């Protein structure tokens, strides 16, 4: 098999998998994620994974907290900048 054939085979397998996921026959492991400043979404099933979703497609934020520093007791959401106290 040459490189082009291998690539086309991989692409066909991916398309088959995507159609199984979209028809609900297979759980989506969100293999292809796309993100921007607003959030992150799965490009296969369309589910939002973080923040407001890719391109800010949701009005509410699915918070994704990051620490403000090792010595800080606070963490903030990377998307809406909500601040909360770290869970013990």
Residues of this chain that interact with Zn ion (CB under 5 A) are 28, 30, 42, 44-45, 47, 61, 63, 77, 79-80, 82
Residue 36: CB minimum distance to Zn ion, A: 14
Residue 73: CB minimum distance to Zn ion, A: 19
Structure tokens at 75: 């963490």
- Contact status, residue 42 vs residue 49, Cβ threshold 8 Å: yes
Percent helix, strand and coil across the chain, each to the nearest 5? 25, 25, 50
């Amino acid at each position: 098999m040459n490189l082009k054939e291998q690539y086309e085979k991989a692409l066909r397998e991916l398309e088959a998998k995507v159609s199984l996921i979209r028809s609900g026959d297979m759980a989506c492991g969100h293999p292809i994620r796309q993100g921007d400043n607003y959030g992150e979404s799965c490009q296969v099933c369309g589910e939002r994974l973080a923040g407001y979703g890719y391109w800010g497609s949701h009005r509410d934020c699915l918070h994704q907290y990051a620490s403000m520093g090792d010595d800080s007791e606070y963490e903030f959401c990377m998307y809406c900048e909500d601040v909360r106290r770290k869970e013990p």
